[in-house]
Amino acid sequence: MIVITWIVEGTWPACVDAARTVAPADAEIVLLHVTGGEAGAAAHGAYAGLMGRRRPSRDPGPRVAELGAASARELLEAAAGRLGRPCTTAERRGRAEREVVAAAEGADLLILARDGDDTRLGPRSLGPASRFVVDHAPCPVLLVWPRAVPAGPVPPPPGPGHEPPHPPPGRGPEPPHSPHRH
Amino acid sequence: MAEAVSAVLLAVVLVTAVVRPWGWPEAVIAAPAAVIVVATGAIDPHQALDQAKRIGPVIGFLAAVLILAQLTEDEGLFRALGRWLARDAGPPRRLLARVFAVAATVTAVLSLDATVVLLTPVVFTAAARLGARAKPHIYGLSHLANSGSLLLPVSNLTNLIAFAATGLSFPRFAALMAVPWLAAIAAEYVVFRRFFRSDLYAPARPQPAAEPVGVPWLVITILGATLAGFVVTSLAGINPAWAAAAGAAALAVRGLARGQTSPLAIWRAADVAFLVFVLALAVVVAGVTDNGLAGVLDRVMPSGSSLWALLATAALAAAAANVINNLPAVLVLLPLAAAAGPGAVLALLIGVNIGPNLTYTGSLATLLWRRVLREHGEEPDLGEFTRLGLLTVPLALVAAVVALWAGLRVIGG
């Protein structure tokens, strides 16, 4: 049995704990982290936009990319330490949602954590990348709370005459058939 | 003929500034182009000299600010800011608020270059240390380098270029731009909090701080004295560039004495090739505006200082900045805005400073060229960054212009 645990900044400890709990002793646990590269590329882009003062030695992009790689290594080490049993670590680069779905090919379970506010139940538990992964994962998915499950009632259903809520502006869910680019 | 020559030369200068053939400094093309503009008579030598006299002090001021920023980095100011950003745990929302505060202040005092070049790695390290996802914070920096650059003449090269044309004193410029600056930052913050809400709630896991936060009081004192110097010199009728030069000199003496910097490093921080490029670009642009472009733009440029005129000026400036870059945009539009008064010039600055946030590279030209090159392999999600820009830019523009309009009513131009 192969259990893929998606390690994301902030929420990963809950995923590691879940892997330890649910994976049988003979299961192969893979700790997977994806470095998106957006931060380095955005830093490089901002520098490229400063007309007239581009000098490669001052470009913050490569430095940020380096820091990102180092931080990913540390994160995976910390995750392996917290798991406390044999596992493999995998670091991928690219669009997180695509890489996770690809890595889950042939796996028996994928563990990931909710995003967003974890102090109450609802309303939205998945950011765009996690949403894509849940929608496209080729294996069973275990979605865990980043911290203790919050207490509290589930909000009541909308009364009669209420339209279903519109997606808020900004990062609404992707339309179902929108093409996702690499 | 003169018209055609200067238009072609401007196009060549702008294209090569984006494309940067063979990695040459931009000045290598721009300086000869400026000489040709003068030699072919496209611009009167006296006019060229006038333009050089206008831009010369701006360039001196810019050099002083560039040196000042690099010396504060040598003194450890940015390392201290990084430790402050990561000093205690808390949700990433708190880190975002701190990043906004630091980025807005650094941009205002040490210019957007300092935010892009010196602050970015520091913020990334702080986010990693707190176990926070870096993207909202890095995107925030990239936005605030532009929209946080409204406050002072030194915050952005565009402001420095336009400052003299406003006829305002340094403190008056700051007083009129303070509320627009805050309004733009607030607009960005509201959108960021909502846009990145799925990333900003993840519980942060602080790592033990490696070292206690030492505050570099001396650097902060010198920067404070420099800011006070801007006010004093300006009120005394002296060019405030001298205050920047004095601040840079104080830090340079200390840095040299302690072996933290070298004369060569200071010379490199001044970025002479960049200064030459700005001067040459100003001369080439003057060649084009003096040969017909001004007449064309004069018809589209709104006049008066009504709220609508200010909004239209800012929108036009934002559009122009987005097509190629805000540096040529401000050079082209400034003479026309200056004729309409200081309010119009400040609206122009709001447009050229906030507008570039529509793309992560500051202009469509640079963006397209990067797409052609595919130099990096990894790109920010273009759709995501553009959606963020479409949400923040109109909101920040309108908020800042309304604040400016109200300020002009209260304080007066």
The answer to whether residue A116 neighbours chain B at the CB level (below 8 Å) is: yes
Joined together, the tokens standing for residue B226 give 């420099």
Residues in chain A within 8 Å Cβ distance of B208:
none
- CA–CA min distance A180, chain B (Å): 10
Positive/negative CA dihedral, B250, B256, B260, B262:
positive
For chain A positions 81-100, those within 8 Å of chain B (CB to CB) are: 93-95
Distances (CA, A) of A73 to A81, B133, B158: 12, 15, 41
Which residue does chain A place closest to B204, by CA atoms?
A: A10
CB proximity list for B216: less than 8 A, separation 6 or greater: B75, B76, B77, B80
DSSP string, B304-371: SSSHHHHHHHHHHHHHHHHHT-HHHHHHHHHHHHHHT-HHHHHHHHHHHHHGGGGSTTSSHHHHHHHH
Residue range B363-383: mean pLDDT, rounded = 71
Distance CA B229, CA B244 (A): 8
- CA–CA min distance A10, chain B (Å): 5
Q: Peptide bond preceding A13: is omega within 30 degrees of 0, i.e. cis?
A: no
pLDDT tens column, B21-55: 888 888 999 999 999 988 888 888 888 888 888 88
- Angle at which helices B326-339 and B342-354 cross, to 10°: 160
Classify burial at B47, counting beta carbons within 10 Å of its beta carbon; exposed 0-12, middle 13-18, buried 19 or more: middle
Positive/negative CA dihedral, A89, A92, A95, A97:
negative
% of residues, chain B, pLDDT over 90: 59
Cβ atoms of residues B244 and B228 within 8 Å: no
- Angle at which helices B45-74 and B272-288 cross, to 10°: 150
pLDDT tens column, B219-250: 999 999 999 999 999 999 898 999 999 999 99
**Three-point CA angle B334, B336, B339, nearest 5°:** 105
Distance CA A157, CA A50 (A): 51
- CA–CA min distance A26, chain B (Å): 30
Which residue does chain A place closest to B356, by CA atoms?
A: A49
Q: Could you tell me which residue, A141 or B339, shows the higher pLDDT?
A: A141
Q: Which residue has the tokens 């003496």?
A: B253
Which site among A11, A16, A53, A117 would you substitute to test the B interface, given the most B Cβ atoms closer than 10 Å to its Cβ?
A53
Report the candidate in B200, B196, B103 with the shortest Cα–Cα distance to residue B151: B103
Reported ipTM? 0.88
Joined together, the tokens standing for residue A99 give 């890489």
Indicate the pTM of the whole model.
0.89
pLDDT tops 70 at residue B319:
yes
pLDDT at B206: 59
Among A88-97, B168-177, B369-378, the minimum mean pLDDT is found in: B369-378
pLDDT at A165: 54
Joined together, the tokens standing for residue A170 give 């900004």
Distance CA B328, CA B331 (A): 5
Distance CA B252, CA A182 (A): 48
Classify burial at A151, counting beta carbons within 10 Å of its beta carbon; exposed 0-12, middle 13-18, buried 19 or more: exposed
Report the candidate in B246, B296, B335, B289 with the shortest Cα–Cα distance to residue B54: B335
Report the candidate in B245, B248, B239 with the shortest Cα–Cα distance to residue B169: B239
Which residue does chain A place closest to B122, by CA atoms?
A: A64
